[in-house]
A and B are shown apart, each in its own frame.
Chain A
């Protein structure tokens, strides 16, 4: 089985290959905002808009709509702020933003890299998850 972009790739250790190392990651909620806006603009331009969208676009839009944890653009911004404050890598920010782990154990299982090299202790992780839960509650 050929691996994409070299043998080293492993998201759990943040090895994403050079093309994506510095790329900006997007949470599902952010992608939903971008795609919906594009969808609306194109629909206004022409009546026969549905035929203009590729299957990839439609599938992605459906997917991000279904799995967006935050609907409100303000909330999405706040989530990013909370996560960025904790010096997480872009990729980690987005995995947590997408999956919304509820416990420290879960967060460490989903994003093993946050617990490595003493980057964050359990208390810090717990505080971060609590902050996220608050945003979701008052969205």
Chain B
């Protein structure tokens, strides 16, 4: 799920930037530093939307750098266990399939795919029901439930399931759901 939250960060700035454009410099440094990063606590920082407040700078002993506490609003994407969301399939193999929901990667193991769907190898590997009515392949749109998350230093990785009511295929490759 996407959230709009307020975060705080201390920015260190070299004294050469002190001047009329100090604030602009701080804002662009903030955007450069935080956009695209990921932490286990707050998820992926997608975009900074506003800077709320820039506090008083504090000169660091010895270096001359100044630390500014900056409060900013941003859009983050944070997956939660138990959350249901839509995703796009990126890779299918006999172990299961990978899907993407925005910045996050989700793996659905073949144990968490309904039993009536079987893996079909070939040019376009897919999971298919025996009558061929449902087919999950690359670029399919799939609704899934997150059952677990793992946090890396720079990435959040999720495990999902489609073995439940109202989960599974929602759109075919290329087609709008």
Taking Cβ atoms with an 8 Å cutoff, the residues of A that contact B are 1-5, 9-13, 16, 19-20, 23-28, 30-31, 34-35, 38, 54-57, 59-60, 63-64, 66-67, 91, 94-95, 98-99, 101, 105-106, 109-110
Interface membership of B45, Cβ < 8 A:
yes
Interface size on B, residues (CB 8 A): 44
User: DSSP majority for the B interface?
Assistant: strand
Given A24-B4, A31-B2, do A3 and B35 touch, yes or no (CB 8 Å)? no
Known: A38-B47, A109-B165. A59 touches B103 (CB 8 A): yes
B146-157 vs A, Cβ < 8 Å mask (1 yes, 0 no): 101111000010
Give the dominant DSSP class at A's interface: helix
CA distance A3 to B150 in the complex (A): 6
The answer to whether B35 touches A54, judged by C-beta atoms less than 8 angstroms apart, is yes
A residues within 8 A CB of B46? 31, 35, 56-57, 60
Interface residues of B (CB under 8 A from A): 1-5, 35-38, 40-42, 44-47, 49, 75, 77-78, 80-86, 88, 100-103, 141, 143, 146, 148-151, 156, 164-166, 177
